[in-house]
Amino acid sequence: MPESTGQSGVIVFDNVSKFYGDVLGVNRVNLSIPPGVTSLVGPNGSGKTTLMNLMTGLVQPTAGRISVRGVAPSQPELLFGFTGYCTQFDSFPKGLTGFQYVYSWLRLSGRPHAEAESMAWAAIDTVNLREAAVRKVAAYSKGMRQRIKLAQSIAHNPSVLVLDEPLNGLDPLVRAETIALFREQARAGRHVILSSHVLQEVDAISDQVVLLAGGYVVAEGQIRGVRSEIQDHPMQILIRCDKPGALAARVFQQDHVVEARIHADRRGLLIKTRDPEQFYLLLNQIALNGIEIESVAPADDDVNSVYEYLIGSEEATK
Amino acid sequence: MISLWSRQILAVLRLEMRKTFFARRGLWIYLLALAPVVLFAAHSIDVMQQRAQRQQRAAACSFSPERMAEIKPGMTREQVIAMLGQPAHRDMRRRRREAHEFLWYSDAQTDFIIHLTGGEVTGINRRESSNLSEDSLVFAGVFQFFYLRLAVFFGCLGVFMNLFRGELLDKSLHFYFLAPVRREVVLAGKFLAGLIATVLIFSLSTVLQLWALSWHFDSNSIQQYLWQGNGAHHVAAYIGVTALACIGYGSVLLAAGIFFRNPIVPAALVLIWESANWILPAALKKISIIFYLQSLSPIVAPAGYNVPPPLALLASTAAATPAYLAITGLLLMSLVVLTIAALKLRRLEINYSTD
């Protein structure tokens, strides 16, 4: 069976470009995506879906080379033995029930009836759709359609799961369960590549992010690493302490501190620094000099802030 | 590997057969296949009614058909009646200020209509009962010039062209493209599904047409034609030609659905080429599907069948290709077309917004 291939390795984009006629999809993308949850983040038209379609062979690169755990996307017979793709396309083969949709896909992969049937029910149970599975997909709500697509993409226990806006239309309970499922897949050493507009969720789920804007990769890697490389925006740090005024007076003597603002509840200080490492060293000294520090936490090293700094500014300049 | 591909082709077949046979938008294909059956059934009903009327006329007049040879132009009505007796039926018409009279005699097999103008015989018209050889020729003409070129062609267009293009328009083709199956295997499964559907529908229609055409003959004549004449061979040959037409047109139209965003234009060009085949020079005739299908038909319909005489002058003929060459050629052509289509499919992108 095809599952025997592609069990290790990374997903590689080697100088990949994709043009739709004159329209740019993505340009000169170089990525090496390790196992874990990787989120593709970017505004509409930034190239997220194009990247996913490229790595699953639905579109071919105009230039460059792609390899998914050592397999080229032009070999679907190998690739989809270990890859599942939950697309944004909201259309299904006509006349199928939810069960038939998942079951038929498993039969297409060459599995015998009994195996396909049990795997289909297992996947349907995972997305909590057993009762509705005997109904036609055409009669499903948006959330149910999203869940049956998800069931189909995970039915064969893929080691690479590509999910285009997978949480769209899901209710909070299923959303939480789905996120837990992604984390579980990642812990098992599998690739989970997803795109989402909900940055809080991306922050909670992702091991690494790929930020895209206008068809270009703006940044990639672990979110804190990406944040520390953004020099234009000083790092924000929130310090909870008993004497925020005294602390403000002390830190303002430092050149790298560009702003210090006492928190609204007067029990903390929000500072902006160009050199976080120097600042943390300073805090150690301050702690020894009579100011009781309760907690220190970065305030803008989440996806939301990184997105705002890297892509928000690009959007604004357009 | 062969076993895996077989299972995958069966899985594609299961999905496609449901769509091909029971799709509401495919209803017109059944009607198209049924049209010639209705035509031949209507012909049979008409022949049976005529036969009943002829028998009534034969009972109403008693004359000897041999004496009909003695009726000569210029004879008067009275002379005719004196020789043949009273007619079974009389018609009177006025044309260009002249009185035309028609005297009907019948011997139950043939109607003799004596035409008198101004009271004198000007001609004798014989209307014979329908016979198998005449009907076979009519069937050959309808089969080759209507059924294959229009009904089977448009039926294949409705089925095969939609196998991929229809799914691109419905935005559901990615279901197949995201499965661990070679796209060539998907193509083979879809083509087989289309082939099974069209061969079943149109072969059944061919059999029903032959049955409807022979409905008005007595069972003895039919048995004799089938088992002592060439009947069984003809039926088998017509079914075989229908199946080959489905293979030939099916492969071309399936490829058109993959290659062209609007495949109606190339399909129309193929139809025009196939329809104009009877006036093409011999060398060009051979670059068509219909030429080989006609070569394989058990009865050759005259070139330019059912065409007005001035246009019939344009008809050209070419020596029929031997059956083994025609069959092999058609199958090879289909295989080549499907191989090219498979190569294109391998590179086909899912980009629904532009389709």
Residues B188 and B268 placed together within one structural domain of the fold: yes
- Is the CB of residue A80 less than 8 Å away from at least one CB of chain B? yes
**What is residue A297's three-state secondary structure?**
strand
Q: State yes or no: pLDDT of A232 exceeds 90.
A: no
- CB contact under 8 Å between B180 and A56, yes or no, is no
- In a domain, residue B267? The reply is yes
Give me the pLDDT at residue B82, please: 84
Residues B322 and B300 placed together within one structural domain of the fold: yes
- CB contact under 8 Å between A91 and B179, yes or no, is no
From B128, B157, B173, the end of a domain falls on B128
Listed by number, the residues of chain B in 21-60 with a beta carbon closer than 8 Å to a beta carbon of chain A are 22-23
Residues B68 and B120 placed together within one structural domain of the fold: yes
- Is the CB of residue A4 less than 8 Å away from at least one CB of chain B? no
Q: State yes or no: pLDDT of A132 exceeds 80.
A: yes
- Is the CB of residue A136 less than 8 Å away from at least one CB of chain B? no
Give me the pLDDT at residue B210, please: 93
Q: State yes or no: pLDDT of A37 exceeds 60.
A: yes
Contact between residue B180 and residue A109 where contact means Cβ atoms under 8 Å apart: yes
Listed by number, the residues of chain A in 17-56 with a beta carbon closer than 8 Å to a beta carbon of chain B are 20, 53, 56
Considering only residues A198 and B150, tell me which one the structure prediction assigns the higher pLDDT: B150
Looking at chain B, which residue has its C-alpha nearest residue A158? B180
Section B232-247 average pLDDT:
95
ipTM of the complex: 0.79
d(CA B326, CA B289): 9
Give me the pLDDT at residue A104, please: 96
Residues B138 and B121 placed together within one structural domain of the fold: no
Give me the pLDDT at residue B53, please: 86
Section A208-226 average pLDDT:
83
Residues B81 and B135 placed together within one structural domain of the fold: no
CATH number reported for the structural domain that contains residue B117 in this entry: 3.30.1450.10
Q: pLDDT band at residue A3, thresholds of 50, 70 and 90? A: very low
- In a domain, residue B146? The reply is yes
**What is residue B176's three-state secondary structure?**
helix
Domain that holds residue B260: 2-47+131-346
* Identity of the highest mean pLDDT range in B131-135, B142-146, B305-309: B142-146
- In a domain, residue B260? The reply is yes
Average pLDDT along chain B: 88
Give me the pLDDT at residue A1, please: 41
From B98, B128, B158, the end of a domain falls on B128
Q: State yes or no: pLDDT of A151 exceeds 70.
A: yes
Q: pLDDT band at residue A315, thresholds of 50, 70 and 90? A: low
The helix/strand count (H/E) of chain A reads as 12, 13
Residues B78 and B209 placed together within one structural domain of the fold: no
Q: State yes or no: pLDDT of A289 exceeds 80.
A: no
Give me the pLDDT at residue B224, please: 85
- In a domain, residue B53? The reply is no
Residues B83 and B101 placed together within one structural domain of the fold: yes
Give me the pLDDT at residue A317, please: 42
- In a domain, residue B231? The reply is yes
Q: pLDDT band at residue B309, thresholds of 50, 70 and 90? A: low
Instruction: Give, rounded to a whole angstrom, the gap between the first and last alpha carbons of chain A.
Output: 49
Q: State yes or no: pLDDT of A12 exceeds 90.
A: yes
- Is the CB of residue B170 less than 8 Å away from at least one CB of chain A? yes
CA-based angle A239:A245:A250, to the nearest 5? Answer: 80
Residues B114 and B135 placed together within one structural domain of the fold: no
Looking at chain B, which residue has its C-alpha nearest residue A100? B15
Please tell me which of the candidates A81, A92, A108 has its beta carbon nearest to residue B12: A108
- Is the CB of residue B320 less than 8 Å away from at least one CB of chain A? no
Q: State yes or no: pLDDT of A99 exceeds 90.
A: yes
Give me the pLDDT at residue A296, please: 77
Residues B103 and B224 placed together within one structural domain of the fold: no
Considering only residues A136 and A301, tell me which one the structure prediction assigns the higher pLDDT: A136
Contact between residue B172 and residue B186 where contact means Cβ atoms under 8 Å apart: no
Section B276-280 average pLDDT:
80
Give me the pLDDT at residue A227, please: 67
- Is the CB of residue B354 less than 8 Å away from at least one CB of chain A? yes
Residues B118 and B155 placed together within one structural domain of the fold: no
Give me the pLDDT at residue A7, please: 45
**Cβ neighbours of A114 in B, within 8 Å:** none
From B128, B151, B176, the end of a domain falls on B128
Residue of A107, A108, A137 to mutate for B, most B C-beta atoms under 10 A: A108
Residues B144 and B186 placed together within one structural domain of the fold: yes
**What is residue A149's three-state secondary structure?**
helix
- Is the CB of residue A99 less than 8 Å away from at least one CB of chain B? no
Please tell me which of the candidates A74, A77, A89 has its beta carbon nearest to residue B174: A89
- CB contact under 8 Å between A77 and B14, yes or no, is no
Of A170-174, B28-32, B116-120, B326-330, the range with the lowest mean pLDDT is A170-174
Listed by number, the residues of chain B in 171-230 with a beta carbon closer than 8 Å to a beta carbon of chain A are 171-172, 174-183, 185
Residues B144 and B117 placed together within one structural domain of the fold: no
Would you list the DSSP string of B225-281?
IIIISSHHHHHHHHHHHHHHHHHHHHHHHHHHHHH-SSTHHHHHHHHHHHHGGGGS-
Tally the domains of chain B: 2
- CB contact under 8 Å between A104 and B11, yes or no, is yes
B250 to chain A nearest CA, in Å? 22
Give me the pLDDT at residue B279, please: 79
d(CA B355, CA B259): 12
- Is the CB of residue A110 less than 8 Å away from at least one CB of chain B? yes
**What is residue A212's three-state secondary structure?**
strand
pLDDT digits (tens, 9 = 90+) for B293-303: 988 988 877 65
pLDDT digits (tens, 9 = 90+) for B182-222: 999 999 999 999 999 999 999 999 999 999 998 888 888 88
Task: Report the interhelical angle of B183-213 vs B153-170 (nearest 10°).
Answer: 150
- In a domain, residue B272? The reply is yes
Contact between residue A169 and residue A146 where contact means Cβ atoms under 8 Å apart: yes
d(CA B267, CA B250): 11
pLDDT digits (tens, 9 = 90+) for A246-262: 888 888 777 788 888 88
Please tell me which of the candidates B11, B167, B350 has its beta carbon nearest to residue A58: B350
Question: Between A and B, how many residue pairs show a Cβ–Cβ distance under 8 A?
Answer: 87
Strand-strand pairing, A83-86 and A235-241? unpaired
Buried b or exposed e, range B90-101, using 16+ CB within 10 angstroms: eeeeeeeeeeeb
d(CA B102, CA B88): 11
Section A14-27 average pLDDT:
92
Give me the pLDDT at residue A316, please: 43
Average pLDDT along chain A: 85
Residue of B15, B21, B178 to mutate for A, most A C-beta atoms under 10 A: B178
Give me the pLDDT at residue A6, please: 45
Section A147-162 average pLDDT:
94
- In a domain, residue B277? The reply is yes
Identity of the amino acid at A259: E
The pTM assigned to this predicted structure is: 0.82
- Is the CB of residue B94 less than 8 Å away from at least one CB of chain A? no
Q: Which two tokens stand for residue B294?
A: 């006609």
- In a domain, residue B354? The reply is no
Give me the pLDDT at residue A292, please: 78
Section A265-290 average pLDDT:
79
**B314 DSSP assignment:** T
Would you list the DSSP string of B179-203?
SSS-HHHHHHHHHHHHHHHHHHHHH
